[in-house]
Structure 1
Amino acid sequence: MARIRETADTSGLHTAARLSVAPMMDWTDRHCRALHRRLSRHALLYTEMVTAPALVRGGALHLLDHAEDEHPVALQLGGSDPAELAQAARLGAEAGYDEINLNVGCPSDRVQSGTFGAVLMETPGLVADCCAAMIAAQPREVTVKCRIGVDAQDPETVLPDFLDRVRAAGVRRVIVHARKAWLQGLSPRQNRDVPPLDHDLVTRMKARFPDLHLSVNGGIASLDAVRSYLDAGLDGVMVGRAAYHRPAEILAAADRRIFGVRGPDATPEAAARAMLPHIEAHLARGGKLQQVTRHMLGLFAGRPGARAWRRVLSDGAHRPGAGPELVEAALAQLGEVQGAA
């Protein structure tokens, strides 16, 4: 478990939130975050959603495990009971997370049945109560990730009312996925693509709520796009699938272009080699290579040799005894393809 941090660095978090990587179930685990951190030292990283009942009732504190070098890193919680969320937030703060985020955006059936995620857009008063309880329970900043509405709701009406209520509860930073969630009729996968995006609505909300730190999320697929939204006046941009499938494209130049840090950009080759100690430590704890390398497949996306890189890792990582030497072999194969190009 990471060491406990006594105070939250809110100003530093607000800077880090200029670019963040979205919480994504089955993807943004600690191995994924380790890779992303080796590409950017400054972007804000999020965990997969962890449910408050799993922590409070199930005692699954291993879900809070993370490394010290992941910071700045935020814990995303799912739930709808204020007292339970308060206790879960306290556990997250004690585990050392820099931020506690409430999920009000996930549309999956499992989340709906638990009365949390996107369905909470229908009960903004309850969301406000949850946020107030989480804020009162611990010292970390509490943030919210939401949709612009669900089903037949009118986002022009629903979103400003939602923001007003969570602001009154003490929330000062909100990430808005600029799509509706259709809880009836669309699968979770379809909800990531089918509902139309309305980034302009989020930009208008920034003008209406200038005191809120607002980040936009949804369909943002390049660092140029990130810059354009920041230049348009938004405080932050959260990137999801593009950061996972093409991590170097989004993160390798981010410290220079988004955070103004001087020096050379990260490279995917250096990031891959920097993962070797992480891999060795994971294997020493009884882990499997594929649990790490599955997050590294897109590291060279769009570059000569990317297919060879993926093939070597995909074919070999699941084999008994596979270790860091497979990553070295994949890098060598990549170099051979690039040299022949």
Structure 2
Amino acid sequence: MKNTALTEKHISLGAKMVPFAGYNMPVQYEGINAEHAVVRTGVGVFDVSHMGEFILKGENALDLIQRVTSNDAAKLYDGKVQYSCLPNENGGIVDDLLVYRLDEKSYMLVVNASNIEKDWNWIQKFNDKDVEMHNISDRTSLLAIQGPKAAEALQSLTEVDLASMEYYSFVKGAFAGIDNVIISATGYTGAGGFEIYFDNEHADVIWNAIFEAGAQFGIKPIGLGARDTLRLEMGFCLYGNDIDDTTSPIEAGLGWITKFTKKFTNSEALLAEKEAGMQRKLVGFEMIDRGIPRHDYEIVDAEGTVIGKVTSGTQSPSLQKAIGMGYVKKGLDKEGTEIFIHIRNARIKAKIVKFPFYK
């Protein structure tokens, strides 16, 4: 199992460590609910160094990105980030990812930890115009500093005006005395904040500086458990749960990152699906009766007929109610529709609601 540059730090802080995507990762420190609240109301730090980073360089870097991703990367400018996905050839998704434009001929792709090798091979398969590709995942650390107090907590560490950075933009500059750090106004929590990319060798210095600067703001380390409850409250998809090789971006509600103004992998079939209307749709639901929905639980109608499947579910710490996401058959996806979740041989009542759960 792989370690991040900060694994020993998490162990020394008493984190409960678990295997995740081939890495030894902190799932929680003082408890998921407490950590979740810290991020929603203050500021918390996630070590997400298990994520993958690829650099694509050269005259044809943009051309390659345009052919393998669903969003229109031609709209990017230096310092801009874009959410996108890698469609496969069968209507599903290889992975979802972020695309960073470093300059006109250089891009950074940030991919999910469990898909690093798969994504690398997939993109390489289409690299027929000599785009220079570098997999920098193993030497790159990534910290997500998230929450409404993130900008204040980090401001003393950089000359970049953090509060004025627009969402999904980034700056490369000095941070905590270290040069060439990517400071990105992105995150997976819906609580605001930043993601900081740097070389592994600077991990201890940067981690310590963040906690020193953030002490007066109540900054705390946060595990992957709270990362999951935070993203779920926002209705953000998790690869392997809500989207995978068998789910199309159209049915997953990712039509907004699927731009048919260009040709990309399987774009004609996805356009046909969009025009014909999909057979199922990813929806959010909240439980009316008592029970927590879990991945792969059946969604049924009042008669007990299976109409779909749960992809993610939890007890929402912010809302104090159970929420979930899942695919349901076409026509049964309207807001307010009553559905039932099959939990331990019982049909537990729920209703379909709009994303995000947490407003």
TM score, norm. by length of structure 2: 0.29
Structure number with the higher strand fraction is 2
